[in-house]
């Protein structure tokens, strides 16, 4: 969306250039993404970006996610277990 503040009475426009040609802006976004997924938040990336699993509130309430956030290995184990459970329920393999 463009905000053509100098173009007559229209307050915004949904037309215009569709590409971003600003390397500095793109670098700021990449730096933020690297910061976001570093340190103690790194295990969350495994669950949120490598799987298509939902966030289950009862697992947040009972400490399952907190335990898995202790290390990438713990989160890999949880993610693998949850993907297997999800696949079995989808295939009705109880």
For the cut 90, the answer to whether the pLDDT of residue 66 exceeds it is: yes
Distance CA 25, CA 36 (A): 17
Contact at 8 Å (CB) between 53 and 44? no
Q: How confident is the model at residue 90 (pLDDT cuts 50, 70, 90)?
A: confident
pLDDT tens for 79-88 read: 999 999 999 9
Give the rounded distance of the alpha carbon of 46 from its chain centre: 9
HSE at residue 35, side-chain half, CA atoms within 13 A, is: 6
pTM score, two decimals?
0.66
Closest CA to 78 of 91, 58, 59: 59
Above 70 in pLDDT, residue 16? no
């Amino acid at each position: 969306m463009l905000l053509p503040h100098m173009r007559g009475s229209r307050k915004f426009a949904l037309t215009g250039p569709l590409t971003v040609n600003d390397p500095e802006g793109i670098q700021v976004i990449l730096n933020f993404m690297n910061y976001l997924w570093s340190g103690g938040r790194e295990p969350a990336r495994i669950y949120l970006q490598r799987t298509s699993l939902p966030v289950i509130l009862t697992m947040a309430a009972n400490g399952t996610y907190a335990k898995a956030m202790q290390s990438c290995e713990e989160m890999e184990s949880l993610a693998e277990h949850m993907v297997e459970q999800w696949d079995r329920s989808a295939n009705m393999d109880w």
